[in-house]
Amino acid sequence: MTSLTASAAEPANPLLQPGLPPFHYPPFDQIKDTHFAPAFEQSMAAELTEVEAIAGRSEPPTFENTLVALERAGQSFARVNRVFSSLSGAHSNDALRAIETAMAPKLAAQSDAIRLNGRLFARIDTLHHQRGQLGLDPESQRLLERTHIDFVRAGARLSEAEKTRLKAMNAELASLETTFKQNIQKETNASVVIVERRADLAGLPANEIATAEAAATAEKQPGKFALRLLNTSGQPALSSLENRALRERIQRASVSRSGRGGEFDNRAVVARLARLRADRAALLGYASHAAYQLEVQTAATVGAVNKLLAELAPPAVANARREAADMQAIIDREKGGFQLAAWDWDFYSEKVRRERYAFDGAQLKPYFELNRVLIDGVFHAATLLYGVTFKERRDLPVYEPSVRAFEVFDADGSPLTIFLADLFARPSKRGGAWMNTYTDQSRLLGTKPVIGNHLNIPQPAAGEPALLTFDEVTTLFHEFGHALHGMFSAVNYPRFSGTHVPRDFVEYPSQVNEMWATWPEVLKNYAKHHQTGAPMPAALLAKVEAARKFTQGFATTEYLAASLLDQAWHQLKSDQVPAADRVLAFEAAALQRAGVDFQPVPPRYRSTYFAHVFSSGYSAGYYSYLWSEVLDADSVEWFKQHGGLTRQNGDHFRRTLLSRGGSADAMELFRSFRGAEPDVKPLLKRRGLDGARGTD
């Protein structure tokens, strides 16, 4: 087996070197903040020189001297940019944020300098006209077609005056998206809720109280307790805190982030982003930003997305109202004297679970110790399904002490990838959970993937185990599904590597991987009490399964509300975009029009901290989780019908879909795996939207 070895001589700028062989692994121990600016400058200049050489060739264009040459160009810049974007999300600081702010318009200009290069596009356009006579293999044919589409959508056919206007828009958009992202992180860190008295934390588990006490000390408020916020509207502590006033305080702090004035207010940023995106779409010939974005997704049209969301919203809200009625009954029986509010939902849903299913979510956490879930759960399932094995590499440098590196080996023992597990929350990390690549797989370039998963699991107090909620367990399996998509990539061109697929398809493989979290053979291997090692009782798992549909109304409604909000912003024409002081009113009106303005269930993300759509590439695409879930639920049925967790099934999924990346049409890949068109019925059943209430 090949192993990674570092060069004895430290390069002047490690970012401009290939990295540690054979994976081009970033030498994090050598990388300093001061390396990024010169690395960007040099690598970007080199890319433009390479591209200009392609555009300026005197000989006629061929697939090799134009398309393949473009795929090879700019690899140094791509490496620098991947490392920087990963660190700016996972472990940022003031220096990196300043670089990010300065670089945002420059990166937009770099893309424009390539995509709006008239001579380069002329060569691509010529080849596109000749595509039927070039004798290309299917992946090469797709590369030509997708590259041509990329350039046209980027504005290659605009006049020079229009290109100048477009460049200015792209630069401003890039700067605004960076500002939005940084404002959220700063505001979330500043919005930590300080609690004076331990008694006010009644109901919170002892280990979480200890974590809050340590967090307050870190905030220079010893003797108090600090509850840090996650990026979503809901907050984990709301499910257990008995103090209703504190629950309300936490919820209000959460949903008002970056929308209540002050230096981190995002309302003006949201309004300007929406207007600029609408202006750009119009310049490029589209009715709206949503129409522009959806053209290259599997949904294809605004109408298709609107239809999906409109059909699911009424039954979802109806389910949520039934759930709310069940909780209100408990409040009234306890003579609470109040109407259920958003800050009560998690607390009283736990009471319903305990009453109806004799189940308390807190009963699960002792069985979900992080290391066991990762090694004996996530990795174990991948070994059973795909034959891959894992070896922790403590000799590899990492960018933060809690990050863990694993070398992954294929079934035949050959090195497959390096996987980084960055699982704990910290002030330097943005909210949410995500996967990224440091190196893309490509046969053309001879590169193997380096992949990271990033979560925001609360860091336990010193000496305490990290015990997960069931949602966190599911998220761990979900993100590793993305990682597998990148690990198993076996394509020629970096343009199609791993998760470089339509946005509304990218979540599909990761959602499929969630199924193994509760698969009996996997669950029994990792769900063991962290103190006694006793397996989770079968009766407890049965209660989990019975309770899963409860609050599906909430889960679906909060998700749909965010998706509908995303579409409301991005289906606007420029003159319809509200001013900054009307952003929150626009949001409220949009939710009301869509029929999802149910006060106890706020959107998963409000506009002012909706990073997915205003800074992370999911604009007009947040619906994609649900769109992908149609495919996911149908695929889960396929696995169950074909014997479940077997190597034969795993190899089939890998061969027909995971390994193909974006090298073929996404729905063709689905049909190749599934052997049929997708069926929506499994999703409706899973979400409790099939008209059946089920039995208690």
Q: Is the pLDDT of residue 401 over 70?
A: yes
- Residue 477's pLDDT band (boundaries 50, 70, 90)? very high
β-strand 225-227 against 434-439: which pairing, if any? unpaired
pLDDT, tens digit, for every residue of 663-680? 999 999 999 999 999 988
Q: Is the pLDDT of residue 73 over 50?
A: yes
Q: How many CB atoms lie within 10 A of CB 220?
A: 7
Q: Is the pLDDT of residue 5 over 50?
A: no
Cβ neighbors of 261 (< 8 A, separation 6 or more) are none
What's the confidence (pLDDT) of residue 257? 95
Section 290-309 average pLDDT:
95
pLDDT, tens digit, for every residue of 17-48? 988 888 999 999 999 999 999 999 999 999 99
Section 147-175 average pLDDT:
98
pLDDT, tens digit, for every residue of 81-96? 999 999 999 999 999 9
- Beta strands in 303-379, from DSSP E residues, in sequence order: none
Residue 545 appears among annotated catalytic residues: no
pLDDT, tens digit, for every residue of 528-567? 999 999 999 888 878 877 777 788 899 999 999 999 999 9
Q: Is the pLDDT of residue 200 over 70?
A: yes
Domains of the chain, start order: 14-157 (1.20.1050.40), 191-255 (no CATH), 267-362+551-622 (1.10.1370.10), 365-505+516-535 (1.10.1370.40)
Report the chain's mean pLDDT, rounded to a whole number. Answer: 94
Cβ neighbors of 211 (< 8 A, separation 6 or more) are 458, 459, 460, 461, 464
- Residue 9's pLDDT band (boundaries 50, 70, 90)? very low
Section 654-667 average pLDDT:
97
What's the confidence (pLDDT) of residue 691? 60
What's the confidence (pLDDT) of residue 11? 58
Q: How far apart are CA 26 and CA 173, in angstroms?
A: 29
Section 103-125 average pLDDT:
97
What's the confidence (pLDDT) of residue 621? 96
Collapsed DSSP state (helix, strand, coil) of residue 85: helix
Most confident of 376-385, 627-636, 673-682: 376-385
Cβ neighbors of 401 (< 8 A, separation 6 or more) are none
**How many percent of the chain have pLDDT more than 70?**
97
50, 323, 407, 479: which is the annotated catalytic residue? Answer: 479
Asked whether the beta carbons of 33 and 93 are under 8 A apart, the reply is yes
Residue 22, preceding peptide bond in cis (omega within 30° of 0): yes
Cβ neighbors of 427 (< 8 A, separation 6 or more) are 189
What's the confidence (pLDDT) of residue 67? 98
What's the confidence (pLDDT) of residue 693? 42
pTM for this model (two decimals) = 0.91
Q: How far apart are CA 416 and CA 409, in angstroms?
A: 5
- φ/ψ of 207, rounded to 5, equals -70, -30
Residue owning tokens 């300098």? 113
Q: How many CB atoms lie within 10 A of CB 591?
A: 20
